[in-house]
Structure 1
Amino acid sequence: MKLGLRLFLAFFLIAGLSAFFILRVILAEVKPSVREVMEDLMVDSANVLAVLAVDELQAHAQGSGPPLADSRLAQQLREYAQRPVDAQIWGLRKQSLDFRIYLTDAKGQVLLDTGERPAVGQDYSRWRDVALALRGEYGARTSRTVQNDDSSHVMYVAAPVHAPGRGELLGVLTVAKPLATVQRFIDRAEQRILFAGLFLLGLSLLIGVAVTAWLVLTVRRLRDYAQQVQAGGQRQAVPQVSGELGELAQAMDAMRARLEGREHIEQTVRALTHELKSPLAALRGAGELLQEELAAPDRQRFASQVVEQSERLRELVDRMLELSKLELQSAPAHPERVQLEALLQRVLARAEPRLSQRGLRLQWLQREAIALQADPEQLELALSNLLGNALDFAPPGSALELRLWREPGRACFSLRDQGPGVPALVWAQLGQRFFSTPRPDGGGKGSGLGLAIARQVALLHGGGLRFEAAEPGLRVIFTLASHST
């Protein structure tokens, strides 16, 4: 199966399942929410009418006044049922008043009923709404008017009628409303939610198609480039891709530079071999010539050459000796209390001439006073190598960013140059003997012993050496164990 099809199917599956479950939850909550709002309004209505019915019900209980069927309350309720209404409620038309109101005495017998089939005289004391209200509890129920017909549900909410001052219970007033009257609103809400969900699902799928197409086209460009690398021939431009795929393209380009052909590799090996032999050959040649009678200028020139090549060999030997000595140790040789900031200032002061020569400036981002037990000579050696490595890669006129801070149990120093950086693929090899990357000024590669010495010093002090991409450049983080305050 193609990569693009896999990505799209995965995106479709995730988006489809998410939309399905979200819509299912939302749609499942619409009807109960509408009914809850409806019940809340009916509670208010029932209690309002219960207060209005106190006088008529109290007069009936005392045997005074006209029958309830002829009372002022009954007349007003009949007028309510006959009132014409034509209301537009958010686009839906309401043309009927749907409340049914019935009133019972303290025994649950119906005294007044506005329904189409009045239940006056019937005993409602066993109906849940009336029974609970008579006991002083919240009375409500939902019942069908037609058996096995869910659309015939009616909601009933009751409120007790008390004598003035929360006296004796005079009866119960119940308000009833068919759920079918709000079903239109529920259906419309569900329909809108469904349409909105389908629209969002379609939009997300379009986004998925666009993202998948972009990713597939990018991968195909990289694939075509890789096939060109495999086929050889004329070198093509590296695909301009951003992000991790861009890093992959650069890594592929670096790989192509290393794999352009056996002949080129052999030439490179011969050139490297010649570079290794050239200092010794120069020394041998200059020494042989110096054994003869030469003019003073020639003798001076060959003597300078001997000194220069000897210095290259001496530096390599010194670093190898330092690294070997460090590798034989299991702890710092001469630990003492060291002020890390002051030690850093000494290292930076010694490097000031080279900094000025290249127009480099130091930029402190963070600096804390840290004291710890360490070998000052080893620390100076490690920090000098780190600084020298950064100077080799930093472009002229750029800034070196420094940070010195404390973390729990550790002292940390970071140094960032703004050079070309190092691919993350080779970070694990940095700090190994004789592994190095080309200098940006064309000066060739170093020996890699400087970072190896810094790493070994950090390990002796319970720390480590790690690398981070700085974009541009590389950030080297040198850590030491520190339990001092």
Structure 2
Amino acid sequence: MPLGIRIFLVYFLFVGLSGWFVLSTVMEEIRPGVRQSTEETLVDTANLLAELLRDDLRAGRLNQSRWQELFQAYGQRQPQARIWDVTKTAVSHRIYVTDAQGMVLLDSSGQAVGQDYSRWNDVYLTLRGQYGARSTRETAGDPDSSVMYVAAPINDHGQIIGVVSVSKPSRTVQPYIERSQRRLAWFGAGLIALGLLVGGVLSWWLSGSLRRLTRYARAVSAGERGELPRLRGGELAQLAEALEYMRNELEGKAYVERYVHTLTHELKSPLAAIRGAAELLEGEMPVAQRQRFVGNIQNESARLQQLIERLLNLALVEQRQGLEERIGLPLRALLDEQLQAQAARIESAQLRIENQVAEGVQLLGERFLLQQALANLLDNALDFTPPGGLLRLSAEMRAGYVELSLFNQGEPIPDYALPRLTERFYSLPRPLTGRKSTGLGLNFVQEVASLHSGGLRVGNVHGGVEVRLTLPRVE
């Protein structure tokens, strides 16, 4: 199972279970919390009425007073109060008053006057100086029919002369409980969903960053040129930097070792020729022969210098992981610049040049590398073009790319050599001199093309050889 999915599942279980536990706990606390608040209001109301009724009860005027009419009028009121989004259309308190023996003297509902309520807990406990409260179901087996009763004593100089009880049905507060539970459920579900979304995004970002680092490590291990991922976040950024540092250290050691071996091998031949010519020059010999050996030393020295310069340029490109600049460059102007640099050689060989590249073609890349690549291509084509031969340059526009074609008239490339032309130090004998070059030119061009996300192809065509170099263009 991918790491990102595992992280998300753990996060899902943690957030989901925690959210469900907290939500269910709070939901369960809503009902008792509302009931406690209602009970506290009933206590205040009962004690207020106890003070208001005391004088009439003490004087024995309670039955002759207007309290019964007031209670009945109270029960018929229609408040039309908008509480949150619930409309209250009727009062829900029931009020009854008993004497010291528990006999009902007044009842706002008018149903219990004259009845004995001394056995009900609200009256029974209050008459004994305790807190009197009870909860009774109006319909047996129906929890929604529960009614809460709270009583307060009516005192006369420290003696309880009666009890006033106030009740409220639970069904009247149920809409507020359900509303709070619904709002809390939606709010809690939204928070859980948001938490899971954040967890999903975090898991996706973390697993995506690790995948990019994995692809980079695999590309490096495969010897490919990979660009270091740009990551945000302290530990991941440090990990990426550590991978890049490790790659540089490992590649640097392997690169130096490989180049020491190849350079040693390639330097043997010219150094041996120079040393042999120098030893022969120590003795007496004709002037013409001496000049020939001096010329050999000069030629081999130039060959060494060219080999070293091209190795340095190739090493510079191979160690690069990206371009230092990406600017628009006119292809025809770059080609004209290289043709002008080789003008003396072209003129001496009486070569015919056809530059068919349009003026408006723009390459997108690094100027120095593209100049060097075109110079190597042109130099290689000139080496294999016979005197009086033809060089033709053209360009075709592709989707986001330019394909530069360089045709040179000459002998076809042997089939066995075609797959190896871009290998380092592989070279074919030049037709005019029979000597090989450093074998680094086409390898350098291929590295530059790869660095620009392009490509290089060399093949035989009718009448000669054609090289196709693909590079990005300015749209």
Q: Which amino acid aligns with 1:141?
A: R
- CA-to-aligned-CA distance 1:150-191 (integer Å, 9 cap, x gap): 00100000000112xx34211100001101100000000000
Structure-2 residue corresponding to 1:239:
229
Structure-1 residue corresponding to 2:137:
144
Decide whether the 8 Å contact of 1:159 with 1:174 is kept in 2: yes
Decide whether the 8 Å contact of 1:258 with 1:265 is kept in 2: no
Decide whether the 8 Å contact of 2:99 with 2:105 is kept in 1: yes
Do structure 1's residue 224 and structure 2's residue 218 form an aligned pair?
A: no
Q: Offset at 1:71?
A: 2.0
Decide whether the 8 Å contact of 1:142 with 1:156 is kept in 2: yes
Q: Offset at 1:265?
A: 6.2
Decide whether the 8 Å contact of 2:72 with 2:109 is kept in 1: no
d(CA) in 2 for partners of 1:196 and 1:119? 46
- Which residue of 96, 99, 106 corresponds with 1:102? 96
Q: Which amino acid aligns with 1:99?
A: H
Structure-2 residue corresponding to 1:320:
none
d(CA) in 1 for partners of 2:139 and 2:260? 96
Structure-2 residue corresponding to 1:475:
none
Change in Cα spacing, 1:152 to 1:263, as seen in structure 2 (3 Å) is closer
1:174-193 correspondence to structure 2 within 5 Å: 174-193=165-184
Do structure 1's residue 161 and structure 2's residue 151 form an aligned pair?
A: no
Do structure 1's residue 264 and structure 2's residue 251 form an aligned pair?
A: no
d(CA) in 1 for partners of 2:10 and 2:235? 21
Q: Offset at 1:192?
A: 0.3
- CA-to-aligned-CA distance 1:109-152 (integer Å, 9 cap, x gap): 11221236x12222221211111111111111111111111001
Structure-1 residue corresponding to 2:81:
87
Q: Offset at 1:269?
A: 10
Q: Which amino acid aligns with 2:248?
A: A
TM-score, normalised to structure 1, is 0.51
Structure-2 residue corresponding to 1:209:
200
Q: Offset at 1:4?
A: 1.5
- CA-to-aligned-CA distance 1:343-373 (integer Å, 9 cap, x gap): xxxxxxxxxxxxxxxxxxxxxxxxxxxxxxx
Change in Cα spacing, 1:105 to 1:264, as seen in structure 2 (3 Å) is same
Structure-2 residue corresponding to 1:28:
28
1:20-419 correspondence to structure 2 within 5 Å: 20-60=20-60, 65=61, 68=63, 70-115=64-109, 118-163=111-156, 166-233=157-224, 235-242=225-232, 243-260=234-251, 263-264=254-255, 266=257
d(CA) in 2 for partners of 1:197 and 1:27? 10
Q: Offset at 1:29?
A: 1.1
Q: Which amino acid aligns with 2:98?
A: T
Pairs aligned (count)? 260
1:466-485 correspondence to structure 2 within 5 Å: none
Decide whether the 8 Å contact of 1:129 with 1:158 is kept in 2: yes
| SS state at 1:146 partner | coil
Which one has the largest radius of gyration? 2
Q: Offset at 1:254?
A: 2.1
d(CA) in 1 for partners of 2:184 and 2:240? 45
Decide whether the 8 Å contact of 1:102 with 1:112 is kept in 2: yes
d(CA) in 2 for partners of 1:227 and 1:263? 17
d(CA) in 1 for partners of 2:184 and 2:202? 26
d(CA) in 2 for partners of 1:135 and 1:230? 90
- CA-to-aligned-CA distance 1:374-415 (integer Å, 9 cap, x gap): xxxxxxxxxxxxxxxxxxxxxxxxxxxxxxxxxxxxxxxxxx
d(CA) in 1 for partners of 2:237 and 2:143? 62
Q: Which amino acid aligns with 1:97?
A: V
**Which 10-residue stretch deviates more, 76-85 or 215-224?**
76-85
Q: Offset at 1:84?
A: 2.9
Decide whether the 8 Å contact of 1:146 with 1:152 is kept in 2: yes
Decide whether the 8 Å contact of 2:76 with 2:90 is kept in 1: no
| SS state at 2:150 partner | strand
Q: Offset at 1:266?
A: 3.7
- CA-to-aligned-CA distance 1:432-458 (integer Å, 9 cap, x gap): xxxxxxxxxxxxxxxxxxxxxxxxxxx
Structure-1 residue corresponding to 2:6:
6
| SS state at 1:195 partner | helix
Q: Offset at 1:21?
A: 0.8
d(CA) in 1 for partners of 2:174 and 2:118? 30
Q: Percent identity?
A: 46
d(CA) in 2 for partners of 1:167 and 1:205? 63
Q: Offset at 1:259?
A: 3.0
Q: Offset at 1:102?
A: 0.9
CA RMSD for the aligned pairs? 2.0
Q: Which amino acid aligns with 1:250?
A: E
Decide whether the 8 Å contact of 1:259 with 1:265 is kept in 2: no
d(CA) in 2 for partners of 1:258 and 1:167? 96
Change in Cα spacing, 1:258 to 1:122, as seen in structure 2 (3 Å) is same
d(CA) in 1 for partners of 2:242 and 2:108? 85
